[in-house]
């Protein structure tokens, strides 16, 4: 990821290619989820028991072992957003996409999840779609935002 100058001391840090979390993160962003055969491959190549690979894959909320929609909508449900009517945003997103919370649309366009504080509480209510953050949400904004995701 980061280039090193020639002559610089050899870094102490073990390489990313041996790091389970790093590999899972790469796979998640490439495939949108962590398919079983991929977890088996990683287990074999790192020499880590498959159960432990699953243990890590299921610990973190940004990983999914189930297939997801092409776009993952994460709506913030934490207190500062909650008191700025995040429930209303959830309803509007569900209606606009025809997808229920925690599920994926039949055409695999969207999955919707509720998440905890995404660090934008001064602009509540908020949500993320894939890597992007959307703030100061209103019902009107949502239909416009969703149009950008096919």
What interhelical angle do 50-57 and 36-46 show, nearest 10?
Answer: 120
* Near ligand FES by CB under 6 A: residue from 57, 73, 81, 112: 81
Q: Which does 102 bind (CB under 5 to 8 A by kind): ligand FES, other proteins, none?
A: none
Nearest C-alpha neighbor of 133 from the set 117, 116, 118, 112: 118
Is residue 56 within a helix (H) or strand (E), and if so which, with residue range? helix 50-57
Cis peptide before 125 (omega within 30 of 0): yes
**Does residue 121 belong to the site contacting other proteins (CB under 8 A)?**
yes
Out of 13, 140, 144, 147, which residue is the one contacting other proteins (CB under 8 A)? 13
Counting contacts by CB under 6 A, is residue 48 touching ligand FES?
A: no
In the complex, what is the shortest distance from the CB of residue 98 to other proteins, in angstroms, rounded to a whole number?
Answer: 26
**What are the counts of helices (DSSP H) followed by strands (DSSP E) for the chain?**
6, 4
Supply the minimum distance, in Å, between the C-beta of residue 34 and ligand FES: 26
Q: Enter the DSSP assignment of 98.
A: T
By the rule CB under 8 A, 132 interacts with other proteins: yes
> Of 49, 79, 63, 51, which is closest to residue 21 (Cα–Cα)?
63
What residues from 54 to 83 belong to the interface with other proteins (CB under 8 A)?
55-56, 59-63, 78-80, 82-83
Only one of the segments 65-73, 99-107, 110-118, 138-146 lies at the binding site for other proteins (rule: CB under 8 A); that segment is 110-118
């Amino acid at each position: 990821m980061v280039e090193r100058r020639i002559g610089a001391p050899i870094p102490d840090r073990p390489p990313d290619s041996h790091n389970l979390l790093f590999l899972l993160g790469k796979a998640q962003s490439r495939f949108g989820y962590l398919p079983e055969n991929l977890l088996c491959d990683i287990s074999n190549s790192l020499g880590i028991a498959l159960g432990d690979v699953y243990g890590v894959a299921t610990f973190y909320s940004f990983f999914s072992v189930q297939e997801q929609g092409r776009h993952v909508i994460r709506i913030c449900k934490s207190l500062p957003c909650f008191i700025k009517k995040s429930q209303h945003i959830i309803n509007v997103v569900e209606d606009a996409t025809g997808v229920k919370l925690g599920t994926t649309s039949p055409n695999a366009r969207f999955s919707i999840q509720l998440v905890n504080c995404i660090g934008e509480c001064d602009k509540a209510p908020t949500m993320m779609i894939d890597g992007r953050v959307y703030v100061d949400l209103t019902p009107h904004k949502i239909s416009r935002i969703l149009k950008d995701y096919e």
